Amino acid sequence: MNRPDTRFDVVVVGTGHAGLPLARRASEAGLSVAGLDVRQSVVDGLAAGRSHVSDVPDRDVELMLANGFTPTTDPEVIARADVVVICVPTGLDAGGRPDLGSVREATATVAAHLRIGALVVLESTTSPGTTDEVVRPLIERATGWTAGEEFHLAYSPERVDPGNRRFGVRNTPKIVSGHTPLCAKHCAAFYGRFVDSVVVARGTREAELAKLLENSYRYVNIALVNEVATFCHRLGVDVWDVLHCAGTKPFGFAPFTPGPGVGGHCIPVDTRYLAATAESAGFSFGVLDAAHAVNAGMPAYVARRAAALLAEHAVPVRGARVLLLGVTYKQDVPDTRESPAAAVAERLADHGMLVGYHDPYRVDLPGFPRATGEPWPAVAAADLTILLQEHRAYDLGRLARTARLLFDTRGKSFGERVHRL
């Protein structure tokens, strides 16, 4: 247990999917780290060496604790930190508009305890202008200080990719920026202590927009291959072979794969932040609107294909037993945020199908029955099995042999009873 006078190199505000990996890397590099979170259960778990983030195993939390990591719900730790990094989630409100409520609340907490001379870094994905127009005024009004003088203010977008075993916090280039050039210098110096490569943006708006562009690029290209997949099916062309052939080009082509929709906290959400920013500036991103229409329509397309497959095999659509395999948004990541699985299940139910699901991870699909244990009895009993996520726990060869009829939305299975997106 740290004494009340313990100083920290950094306090990470929000120990979730972005904050905990950041805290781990800083701790590995020898920095003294505290993790501040409003969720008592999360803090208690971390203090006991239990991780709630799939990419950070329990043994890593135990090593962090041994290195002095302090998980806490007490905001007083902010007053003892040289650097405060805000890693709280940014999402959408009920109307699909950007919701900065968590950022505002975290900033208010930071402002109430900030010590003079400290560096405040916002890592949460957000709209251009948030650092200077939302975070800065909140801190300046609460403290009476000026950013760039009594405290330093910066923005550095998180680039965590859940499940990525090749790139992590250390070896993913880190974009940094500052309210002033001196703020940017302090930010670069901080991350340079535990990240291999630091990229200095011209300003905070450029850094904020860079993150939105990264994920919008992915969103648009996923929409393109999703639409190509639907077109190929109409032509009777194997889209997976098309993608394989195109992917052999060593320049000018980046491979993306189609699927039942787009999930995760970043890709489908960040594009709405970019679109909302454009709208406020009197600009319209037509390509984003088109991509959203395609991606949002994929669950309904999957349901139509499923109904057609049942009809082709003389199985009455209404009352057909359909099993969804893998309902997380990403392979081998136990996270259902924005997963298209819920929309797929609802569209199937609209056709009158009886929908159940299986996932090797402890995740839920509210409103639909879950098959527990091994998936094979449920697969054998289903009139149609739909592979939504190709988790490594699934033996795809056995799946192709066991299913009465298999609709593979990931293009990974082969067999007489297999139909691919």
DSSP string, 76-139: GGGGGEEEEEE----EE-TTS-EE-HHHHHHHHHHHHHPPTT-EEEE-S---TTHIIIIIHHHH
- Token readout for 46 is 């971390």
The pairing of strands 81-86 and 8-13 is parallel
What is the residue-wise DSSP string for 90-108?
-EE-TTS-EE-HHHHHHHH
Q: Compute the Cα dihedral for 275, 279, 284, 289 and give only its sign.
A: positive
Active-site residue list: 266
C-alpha–C-alpha distance, residues 87 and 102, integer Å: 10
SS3 373: coil
Structure tokens belonging to residue 272: 């709405």
